[in-house]
Chains A and B, each alone.
Chain A
Amino acid sequence: MRGAACLLAALLLGSAAAAEDRPVFAFGYLDLAEDIRYSRWGVHPVDIRSETNRIDRRPLAGAEMGVSDIRSFGRRAGVQFTLRAERVAEANELPAALDAIQAETGAFVFLVDAPAAALRELAAATTGRDVILINVSAVGDSLRGEACEAHLLHTAPSRQMLTDAAAQYLIARDWNEVLVLQGPLEEDARTVEAFRHSAGTYGLKIDEERTFVLSNDPRMRDRNDLDLLTGRADYEAVFVADVDREFARSVPYSTQDPAAVTGAAGLRPTPWHWSYLRHGAPQVHGRFERQTGRRMEGGDWAAWVAIRAIGEAIVRSGSTARGDVHAYLLGPEFRLDGSKGPALSFRPWNGQLRQPIMLATEDWVTAVAPLAGFVHQVNDLDTLGRDERTSDCSKFATPEQPT
């Protein structure tokens, strides 16, 4: 009996030592100390001063869960996965931080949580280098278009994918006439541009586009008063473009005509929502909440799925070499389970992860796009965002697509 117990202890010790001995495969992770997307945008005015409700919403937590989730892949691939994160003060410090992590750990996969402009610079600065960058939060379409880079992949959806999802839902409900309310920021203008394109694709009629301002100035009532902003127009739905979201919050139930609200308020398109109950999502969400003590958001999902994508590519390709991993990620065999239904894959013409988009209220996923009836000749997920024919990215060597 004692002999058996000793043997068991030896076996367990042996396997523990083996785990420690495996070479490290490090993921690099870069973000910015000051990022308005987390410090201001989407923060409720009450929570600006809240001691208890101001939470760290950065996607880093999703990456940490991803590394924990792929431990058994490490056992199989003979490596030990770790995460090496660096938070820099200024966007122009990103390339140096990447160099430092690569020199220290040998990492070639870097998850980047930065606004589009910062990411574009980092991607341009690392062209031709032995790295794979994965964008986990920037939605800018030009990053997937004319400013694309062959070593830059995206697990965050593009703005176009998000507005296409909203447009599909309005069409499916037969709410075809839309009033667009546009905020003052550059991002809001980009969002309206994307929505215009979605409306054209799916046949929505934009009755009017109006700009709003956050203000109480009585001289600007035509732009700060919802009665005026939503009056004298024909619409069944209102699309709000407002990354800051403070104005958007006031729109639902305040329109002159009864209307559904989508965009930055009401039914919001998002890569992930904690309330989703199907496809194993509650298990993913449950793990995240237990590890972090908060709800899982879109950025968390994108960072988590980025790590899982690399893990999947390593075990399926049987290699930890950068070239093999990159080729497998973009190849025809690659399939990823993102716990939101269909198998996910990367678009080989611009490195964007194909994925369903959830349409969620505050506490319910009302629908998931692509909606039933929206079909694409290659993959229905390609009804969201630019497909190969309309892409203006030219940095990827694209294989022939089946037709």
Chain B
Amino acid sequence: MPRWFLTGPAALTLALGVALPAHCGEIYVSNEGNDTVVVLDSDSLEIQHVIETGGRPRDMRFSPDGSELLIAASEADRIEVLDLETKTITGYIDTGDDPELFDIDPSGEILVVSNEDDAEATVIDVASGTIRTVIEDVGIEPEGVRFTPDGKRVFVTAEATNTIAVIDPWEGVILADILVGNRPRRGTFTPDGSEYWVTNELGGTVSVIDTETLQVTHTISFEKKGLREAEITPVDLVMTKDGTTAFVTLGRAWHVARVDVATRTVEAYILAGSRVWGAALTADDSILVVTNGASDDISVIDTEANRAVRSVAVGRTPHTVRIRD
């Protein structure tokens, strides 16, 4: 009998009789430590496919038409295109050195990728796979890349310069730099595009930016009894479709913070795994899945109960999770 069946979170699930809502979907997780993307059934939480990728797969995004998953293979210097029906890699897009995170514009025409080692962002034409522009000097160690909901601008965080470069990817120019907290990592826009929320890993905070004025309007801090300040290292951030709730992964603090967007207050701290980084919500926002980079598993969190109901081993150093349902 498999060991997980007897112990730990699985046993807890059985004991408590927690039933996850049925989604009939798929959970995709990239494992940067052993160069695979695994596909789990979102109901059974069992691994259905293991796809070998180029070296160090990290960020992943679905194509706007929903037929493909794009996977950044950092060591291979390219994005690999996975066909979601056949679960095979069908193409490659060269990205320049060491692509880490990327985003696709809502129309699907271009994508922008951060090149961590070169302080650059590369704008790529998706259909032809050719590089349109390389934008230099976006800040040292660029990381998070997000298109505004209208697709006109891209916000790129720079970890080592504590800035966000606001870029016009269509013209290939930097419009502004915004100074945020220490070591900004990733962010997301509110659904109406009026605010950009970004995590500051070393500052232990989230900065809220008004996208009109490009000013930081609020800084959200995290505090929980028993957690030391140095452990609170926010990395990823996802928001519910209605824009009322944000979930922030707190890295070495083992927890995910649930934040009320309107009041900017923390409503709950949810226990996850070691070095919790990546996060994704199901389409109905009922389930949050997070990757635990230092315990090689994912935690599946019931967002009604604010509690992790399962953890599933997925591979070495899971980085990003995306859900298709």
Contacts and interface: CB of A to CB of B under 8 A. Distances in A.
A75 B183 CA distance: 19
Interface string A340-372: 011100000000000000000000000000000
Interface in B44-97: none
A335 B202 contact: yes
B20 interface: no
Interface stretch (A64-72, A195-203, A321-329): A64-72
Contacts of A283: 116-117, 141, 159-160
Contacts of A280: 141, 159-160, 183
A286 B97 CA distance: 13
A341 B230 contact: yes
Given A283-B141, A343-B182, A72 B163 contact: yes
Interface string B162-201: 1101000001110001010011000000000000000000
A76 B179 contact: yes
B203 A343 contact: yes
B216 interface: no
A312 B203 contact: no
A22 interface: no
A343 B137 contact: no
B104 to A, nearest CB: 23
Contacts of B318: none
Interface string B255-286: 00000000000000000000000000000000
Contacts of A11: 171, 173
Nearest to B231: A342
B140 interface: yes
Nearest to B183: A337
Interface in B99-153: 116-117, 137-141
B117 A335 contact: no
B117 A287 contact: yes
A262 interface: no
A72 B202 contact: no
Interface string A37-79: 0000000000000000000000000000000011111011000
A160 interface: no
B177 A72 contact: yes
Of the four ranges (under 10, 10 to 19, 20 to 34, 35 or more), the interface on chain B belongs to 20 to 34
Highest count of chain A CB atoms <10 Å: which of B139, B160, B163, B165? B160
Contacts of B203: 335, 343
B115 to A, nearest CB: 11
A339 interface: yes
Contacts of B160: 69, 280, 283-284, 337, 339
A122 B202 CA distance: 35
B176 to A, nearest CB: 10
Contacts of A69: 140, 160-161
Interface in A296-323: 312, 315-316
Contacts of B309: none
B interface: dominant SS: loop
A322 to B, nearest CB: 21
A33 interface: no
A290 B162 CA distance: 22
A76 B163 contact: yes
B158 interface: yes
B141 A76 contact: no
A380 interface: yes
Interface string A276-297: 0000100110110010000000
Contact of A71 (B137, B179, B182): B137
A380 B230 contact: yes
B177 A76 contact: yes
Nearest to B181: A335
Contacts of B138: 72
Highest count of chain A CB atoms <10 Å: which of B141, B159, B165? B141
Highest count of chain A CB atoms <10 Å: which of B139, B162, B203? B162
B209 to A, nearest CB: 15
Contacts of B177: 72, 75-76
A280 B158 CA distance: 12
Given A283-B141, A335-B203, A337-B183, A8 B171 contact: yes
Contacts of B172: 8
A112 to B, nearest CB: 24
A343 B202 contact: yes
A72 B137 contact: yes
Nearest to A381: B230
A337 B230 contact: no
B17 to A, nearest CB: 38
A284 B137 CA distance: 16
Interface string B210-236: 000000000000000000001000000
Contacts of A342: 202, 230
Contacts of B158: 72
A8 B171 CA distance: 7
A72 B139 contact: yes
A312 B161 CA distance: 8
Contacts of B230: 341-343, 380
A337 B200 CA distance: 11
Contacts of B173: 8, 11-12, 15
B117 A73 contact: no
A290 B116 CA distance: 14
Nearest to A76: B177
Contacts of B165: 72
27 contacts: A8-B171, A69-B140, A70-B161, A72-B137, A72-B138, A72-B139, A72-B158, A72-B163, A76-B163, A76-B179, A280-B141, A280-B159, A280-B183, A283-B116, A283-B141, A283-B159, A286-B117, A287-B140, A290-B117, A315-B179, A335-B202, A336-B182, A337-B160, A337-B162, A337-B183, A342-B202, A343-B203
Given A75-B177, A337-B202, 6 more contacts: A8-B172, A280-B160, A280-B183, A283-B160, A315-B162, A343-B182
In the complex, the 9 A-B pairs of residues with the closest C-beta atoms, listed nearest first: A342-B230, A337-B202, A72-B161, A72-B139, A337-B183, A69-B140, A337-B182, A283-B141, A343-B202
Interface of A: 8, 11-12, 15, 69-73, 75-76, 280, 283-284, 286-287, 290, 312, 315-316, 335-337, 339, 341-343, 380
